[in-house]
Chains A and B, each alone.
Chain A
Amino acid sequence: MIIAVASGKGGTGKTTVATGLMLALRDSGHQVAYLDCDVEEPNGHIFLEPQCNESEDIYIEVPEIERDKCTLCGKCAELCAFNALLVTSDNVIIFHELCHGCGGCRYFCPVQAVRPGQKKIGIIDRGTAGQAVFVRGELEVGTVLSPPLVNAVKKNQISRGVNVLDAPPGTSCPAVATVRGADFCILVTEPTPFGLHDLSLAAQMASSLGVPCGVVVNKAGDSRGLIENFCLQEGLPLLMKIPLSRTIAEAGSRGVPLNRAEAGWDQMLLNLYSDIEGLIMSERAYGNQR
């Protein structure tokens, strides 16, 4: 099973929920993997304190031109949607920072003058957090292209057990790459107009990807039903509330996970998991009838 934890707005508590859920599952005997897909700012390790023993460099394909074969026809530059190639009267200039690694220039070159080169976009660390699998991606500084790295992190998902994917904030390519293909998406929000606005975008993203989702409200207090009304209106299940609590906030600031901050959260998070299991089952049973 794959559960993605996303949010839209940053700082709502994705990592709090993702690490909490993973620990609750692990400590109750589930096989579980935590995959930090927030490759621009991975921080799950602060809560999980994993032992990482393996590191892999991740590359994307970038074009290299074989000058003796190239006829300077300009096909590659014409084709590139990101303008990463420029053909002059006597050379082909490649702007690696614009290349998205699609390989189109190589595929369409009429004289096979483009060969695949490599550009490092980041690293993946693999290890364990107790009995759980821990994986995280870390984007190379100065690189803007994170989806291939997110996908490389996701390749480490375990086939039996529960994968908890900690998504990057927002609803653009890196978040989409994380949530795509998940069985369920937990949307973590906070009860503010800003939180609600981005929750609505994130819900649209999950729905366009065909991933069923539910909402967890963090820093919950008296917000006059702001998020509750939205969930009712959109038919989104409201799965759990984490109160605005000084104890939890202080624990978070010290890198102490939710489960260790206060008693009772292990059970709450296990209940969250069984609710999600139920929602996935009913989605599979009835989803295609909608």
Chain B
Amino acid sequence: MKIAVSASGSSIDSAVDERFGRCAYFVVFDEKTGDTEAILNDGVNAAEGAGIKSAGLMLRNNVDLVVTGRVGPKAMQALLAGRVAVYTGAAGTVAQTIEQYRKGSLNPLGVPNARSHNGISSTEKPVK
């Protein structure tokens, strides 16, 4: 299984970024091989639909599961359509987050936990 974590940098020790659509990188950990790989998130500067673009990136890289902080409604719809599981609660570094996930202490997300927003200047807070 390939697990992607939204991150602010490209290494396993980078800090996580809780934004799914607008994080700088996705660090992907392959459970089978133990390899990690960083994917540059080219949707970060999208005027609109950044979350959908990120979801497309997950699908193209055969990611099975995403661990992040906040996912908006369109990105959630896109990820569910692509059968990518979504977990929230990413905190600390990518390595720590993967560790938390493997211990079973993170929660799967079935519905979006961020409001719909447009554009990169949004300062919307997540809906708890």
* Partner-B contacts on A (CB < 8 A): 74, 77, 81-84, 86-89, 91, 93, 95, 98, 144
Looking at chain A's contact residues, the main secondary structure is loop
**Cα separation A204 to B124 with both chains bound (whole Å):** 31
> If A88-B59, A88-B82 touch, does A83 touch B46 (CB 8 Å cutoff)?
yes
B78 close to A (CB within 8 Å)? yes
- Contact of B81 (CB < 8 Å), options: A81, A83, A84, A88: A88
- Contact of A93 (CB < 8 Å), options: B46, B50, B81: B81
A-B residue pairs in contact (CB < 8 Å), sample of 23: A74-B60, A77-B56, A81-B47, A82-B48, A83-B43, A83-B46, A83-B48, A83-B49, A83-B50, A83-B53, A86-B56, A86-B59, A86-B78, A87-B56, A87-B59, A88-B82, A89-B83, A93-B77, A93-B81, A95-B49, A95-B77, A98-B49, A144-B118
Residues in A with CB closer than 8 Å to B74 are 95, 98
The answer to whether A89 and B59 have CB atoms under 8 Å apart is: yes
Residues in B with CB closer than 8 Å to A86 are 52, 55-56, 59, 78, 81-82
User: Which B-chain residue is minimally distant from A95 (CB atoms)?
Assistant: B74
Chain B proximity of A145: nearest CB distance (Å): 11
Chain B: interface residue count, which band? 10 to 19
* Partner-A contacts on B (CB < 8 A): 43, 46-50, 52-53, 55-56, 59-60, 74, 77-78, 81-83, 118
Chain B proximity of A102: nearest CB distance (Å): 13
Residues in A with CB closer than 8 Å to B60 are 74
- Contact of A83 (CB < 8 Å), options: B52, B59, B77, B83: B52
Residues in B with CB closer than 8 Å to A74 are 60
User: Which B-chain residue is minimally distant from A81 (CB atoms)?
Assistant: B47
User: Which B-chain residue is minimally distant from A91 (CB atoms)?
Assistant: B81
Residues in A with CB closer than 8 Å to B81 are 86, 88, 91, 93
**Cα separation A107 to B46 with both chains bound (whole Å):** 22
Chain B proximity of A121: nearest CB distance (Å): 16
User: Which B-chain residue is minimally distant from A83 (CB atoms)?
Assistant: B49
- Contact of A82 (CB < 8 Å), options: B49, B55, B78, B83: B49
- Contact of B47 (CB < 8 Å), options: A82, A88, A93: A82
Chain A proximity of B83: nearest CB distance (Å): 8
**Cα separation A198 to B74 with both chains bound (whole Å):** 34
Residues in B with CB closer than 8 Å to A88 are 59, 81-83
User: Which A-chain residue is minimally distant from B51 (CB atoms)?
Assistant: A83
* A77, A86, A91 interface centre (most CB from chain B within 10 Å): A86
